[in-house]
Amino acid sequence: MDCQEGTGVSISQGWRSNYPFSLLCLCADLIRKTRRAVPQMTAAKLQSYTARDLGQMAKKKGVRGWHSMTKAQLVRALVKAGQKKSRTTTTKKASTSKNGVAAKKSTKKSAKPRTKSAKEQPVRKQNPRVKRRLAEVRMREHWFKNLSAKTEEANGNGSVEKRDRLVLMVRDAYWLHAHWDLTRQRVERARAAMGQNWHDCKPILRLMKIDTSSHNGAETLVRDIPIHGGVNNWYIDVQDPPQSYRVEIGYISADEQFYSMARSNIVTTPKASSSDSIDENWTDVAESFEKVYAMSASSGDGPASVELQELFEERLRRPMGSPMISRFGVEAQGVGESARGFDFMVDAELIVYGATSPNAHVTLQGDPVQLRADGTFTVRFSMPNCRQVIPVVASSANGVEQRTIVLAVERNTKDITEALEGWPFQPNEISVRLVRGDDGSDKVQLRLDLGLLQMEVEGRPDGQRPHDCDSLLDYFEAKQKQHDTANPDEAAFQLEPDDCEQLLREGIQYYHRYLSFWHLDQYESCARDTKRNLRLLKFVRQNARRERDKLQFDRWRPYLVMMHARSIGTPLLNDERFNEALVTVDDGIAQIRRFLEDYDQTEHADQCSELTQLLTWREEIVQLQDDGQEPAKEDPLLTLRSELKQAIDQEQFEEAARIRDEIHRLTGSGPGEKL
């Protein structure tokens, strides 16, 4: 007889053929009673086993967490498991006894089938581990789809108002930041609306590009971004700045049906520049929330802008309003009150970024730079208050090729608080003053919206000496003379576009200074700087390689001529030297007319504001002279200029040439120079 462990007993085929069926049933019943009579393992008995044996016993009995238990814990768990099994057996026995004789008869009639069934399909409980795994899968599926999970968590803490919203923010030229708050009711409505499609749908963010060039603001689908319910914000990478975007949040089914739950505001990315580091929390937003808010709230005072402001106020726990209220509160200190105990410090860092081959070797100031997988790199380091020359060298993997780029940066930090005290900015006025600098020399200060522009009175306005010359113009003029002397038979000297760009920036410095001199009534200094810029225009006109660079400079010639004439003529007029003032004005008028002739614009002379101003000013000077403030004196040069103008108007060119030669003789100027 072979007895197999289980709920039934299996009798070998040989025994069944040699003994009566009743005797076999009696033996099987005796075996079952013997098993029930076996006493349970006691704690004392279990203590005699090793921890390893106890672990194997616990594993067979399905004890959870047995592999991490100590020996004492295993003993207690096994005793408890034995008691639980004993209670289960007793319960089954009591249930069988209630059926009485009928149950016994039923057992006799179906003894053979029951024995066979017990052998082929034993009754087993569901594995707790599988059951737990199924529960986890269902929970994860619910968590994956529930976009209101984070909002419910925040609502439980009372930190967020119960409402549906989706806010889009600009972090830099290539990154957007979406944040949403969705209520459970909103998700349930989506579930009901999607019906059977809900079971296979996925939560997404739909990124749309807005065509700002058209009046209807057409939207183009960029891509769908899969998300999940474990978060309530998402960073979105975008390309080709500047562009305008909007996002929608919702669910998309297997058949591409999209159910939208919220739409965001429209934002526009800025032009590409150096990238800031991106953090996955609100720390960096708190540090630069005004910049992020300004870039993201591009729609003005619309509802999306209000939602964005509310989101910032909730997350940063501070109000956003006017600068005075948002920074200092309603009880901000009055304008006239002293705040000398207020501390303020500004520092700066330099971020150098670039790209090369992924397997290249890059050094910055001699130190190796770690490259990302795509060959890009970013280095951030301190920027002291001085001038730095930073060489960046890239070498190919085999060391054959090498590229070197040098960055020259300068930091010049100054505290201008005292300089601005008592000198408010006037939006529609030019406010200028002359001050004595720390080095003992005079400085010109021009008040700007966010500070002031300080310039040297002599030399280059910024005090620099490029290439050890007084100005870039002096440097390039010397370079041209050197080239023409060394290469008389070769091509003439030419200014490249980069050279013209540098000269233009320098010319703007002189523009700011001569404009300041004009408002300070420093007419001699104004005439000096306007004459210098006229020299710049002529030099570029004669030597620039590109025609567009010539036009970019020369278009300012009428304005410079007018300012030069006024800066020379005004002090003459103040001294009542009317004839000399008229000569200066006529000279300016003639130069502007010549400019119009050079560009075939003489028929539009009445539209030239600079020419109109000089003509009007000339009439005023003549009127003052006619009023008898000074007897008119015969000026031969003035007479010749008037005759020259009349000869040109009458197309008497031979006479005009004779008069021009006479003017050159009187003034000492050479042919080709301005009259």
Q: What is the pLDDT of residue 570?
A: 93
Q: Judge whether residue 10 has pLDDT over 60.
A: no
Q: 242: pLDDT confidence band, cut at 50, 70 and 90?
A: confident
CA distance 319 to 336: 25
Sheet holding 165-172, edge to edge: 165-172, 175-181, 233-237
Contact present, 406 and 390 (Cβ < 8 Å)? yes
Task: Point out the domain boundary residue: 387, 409, 431.
Answer: 409
pLDDT band at residue 56, thresholds of 50, 70 and 90?
Answer: confident
Percent share of the chain, pLDDT over 70: 70
Higher-scoring residue by pLDDT: 385, 589: 589
Identify the domain boundary among 409, 444, 479: 409
Cα separation, 228 vs 144, whole angstroms? 5
Q: Which helix (H) or strand (E) segment is 204 a member of?
A: strand 202-210
- In degrees to the nearest 10, what's the CA dihedral of 71, 77, 82, 86? 160
Neighbour-count burial of 299, counting CB atoms closer than 10 A to its CB (0-12 exposed, 13-18 middle, 19+ buried): middle
Is the per-residue pLDDT at 94 higher than 60? no
Residue 506 shares a structural domain with residue 377: no
pLDDT of residue 333 exceeding 70, the answer is no
List 234's β-bridge partners, or say none.
178
Distance, in Å, from the CA atom of 250 to the CA atom of 261, rounded to the nearest integer, reads 5
Q: Which residues, 6 or more positions from 572, have their beta carbon under 8 angstroms from its beta carbon?
A: 578, 580, 581, 584
Q: Are residues 507 and 650 in the same domain?
A: yes
Q: What is the pLDDT of residue 582?
A: 93
Element (H, E) at 209: strand 202-210
486 and 550 belong to one structural domain: yes
Residue 461 within a domain: no
Indicate if 579 and 652 belong to the same structural domain: yes
Q: Which residue has the tokens 């209000």?
A: 306
Local confidence band at 7 (pLDDT 50, 70, 90 cut-offs): very low
Question: Is the per-residue pLDDT at 392 higher than 90?
Answer: yes
472 to each of 410, 453, 476, how far by Cα in Å?
19, 20, 6
DSSP letter for each residue of 147-201: TTHHHHHHHHTT-S-S--EEEEEEEETTEEEEEEE--HHHHHHHHHHHGGGGGG-
386 lies in a domain?
Answer: yes
Quote the strand ranges of 371-497, DSSP E.
376-382, 387-395, 402-410, 432-436, 442-448, 451-456
Sign of the alpha-carbon dihedral angle for 67, 70, 72, 73 = negative
pLDDT for 439 = 84
Provide, rounded to the nearest whole percent, the portion of the chain with pLDDT above 90. Answer: 30
Q: Are 414 and 427 in contact (CB under 8 A)?
A: no
324: confidence class by pLDDT, cuts 50, 70, 90: very low
Q: Are residues 488 and 395 in the same domain?
A: no
What is the per-residue pLDDT for 307?
A: 61
Domain count across the chain: 4
Same structural domain for residues 584 and 489? yes
Domain assignment of residue 311, yes or no: yes
Q: What is the pLDDT of residue 114?
A: 46
Q: Is residue 150 part of a domain?
A: yes
pLDDT beyond 90 at 380: no
Nearest to 166 by CA among 304, 287, 45, 57: 304
Lowest mean pLDDT among 124-128, 413-417, 512-516: 124-128
Give the number of other Cβ atoms within 10 Å of residue 369's Cβ.
19
Q: What's the alpha-carbon Rg for the chain, to the nearest Å?
A: 46
Beta-bridged to residue 443, according to DSSP, are 435, 456
Structure-block tokens of residue 623:
């009127």
Q: What is the pLDDT of residue 327?
A: 38
pLDDT 10s digits, 260-291: 999 998 888 887 754 444 444 444 554 455 55
Is pLDDT at 294 greater than 70 in this prediction?
no
3-class DSSP state for residue 50? coil
Mean of the per-residue pLDDT values of the chain: 77
Does pLDDT of 501 surpass 90? yes
Give pairs for 114-123: CB < 8 Å, separation 24+.
114/8, 115/8, 115/9, 115/10, 115/11, 117/8, 118/6, 118/7, 118/8, 119/4, 119/6, 119/8, 119/10, 122/6, 122/7, 123/7
What does the pLDDT look like over 207-220, one tens digit per residue? 999 987 766 678 89
For residue 497, give the amino acid letter: P
Q: pLDDT tens for residues 541-572? A: 999 999 999 999 999 999 999 999 999 999 99
Same domain, 483 and 577: yes
Q: Yes or no: say if 563 and 514 are a contact pair by the CB < 8 Å rule.
A: yes
Task: Indicate whether 6 belongs to any domain.
Answer: no
Backbone angles phi, psi at 283, to 5 degrees: -65, -50
Both 312 and 367 in a single domain?
no
Quote the pLDDT of residue 4: 43
Q: Confidence band (pLDDT; 50, 70, 90) for 75?
A: confident
131 located within any domain: no
Amino acid in the structure at residue 482: Q
Residue 173 within any structural domain of the chain: yes
Structure token digits, residue 604: 């539009």
- Say yes or no: 551 and 624 in one domain: yes
Kindly report the number of other CB atoms within 10 A of residue 203's CB atom. 21
Q: Regarding predicted confidence, which is higher, 631 or 660?
A: 660
Query: Between these two residues, 182 and 6, which has the higher pLDDT value?
Result: 182
Among 120, 153, 175, the domain boundary falls at: 120
Q: Which of 363-367, 507-511, 584-588 has the lowest mean pLDDT?
A: 363-367
Q: Are residues 579 and 543 in the same domain?
A: yes
- pLDDT exceeds cutoff 50 at 605: yes
Residues 182 and 98 both lie in one domain:
no
- Is the overall model pTM greater than 0.85, yes or no? no
* Residues listed for the chain: 675
pLDDT at 11: 44
What value, to the nearest 5°, has the Cα angle with vertex 334 and ends 328 and 340? 80
**What are the E-state strand segments in 253-375?**
258-263, 267-268, 349-355, 361-364, 367-369
The whole-number pLDDT of residue 205 equals 94
Per-residue pLDDT averaged across 215-237, rounded? 86
pLDDT tier at 126 (50, 70, 90 boundaries)?
low
Q: What is the pLDDT of residue 626?
A: 78
Q: Please check whether residues 596 and 483 belong to one and the same domain.
A: yes
Within a domain: 130: no
Supply the pLDDT for residue 107: 45
Of 255, 326, 242, the closest CA to residue 290 belongs to 326
Contact 194, 259 (CB under 8 A): yes
Q: What is the pLDDT of residue 155?
A: 63
Work out the average pLDDT over 305-326: 52
Query: Which is higher by pLDDT, 256 or 305?
Result: 256
Three-state secondary structure readout of 219-258:
EEEEEEEECCCCCCEEEEECCCCCCEEEEEEEEECCCCCE
The residue range of the domain holding 56 is: 39-120
CATH of residue 226: 2.60.40.10
In 10 A of CB 215, how many CB atoms?
7
162 vs 467, higher pLDDT: 467
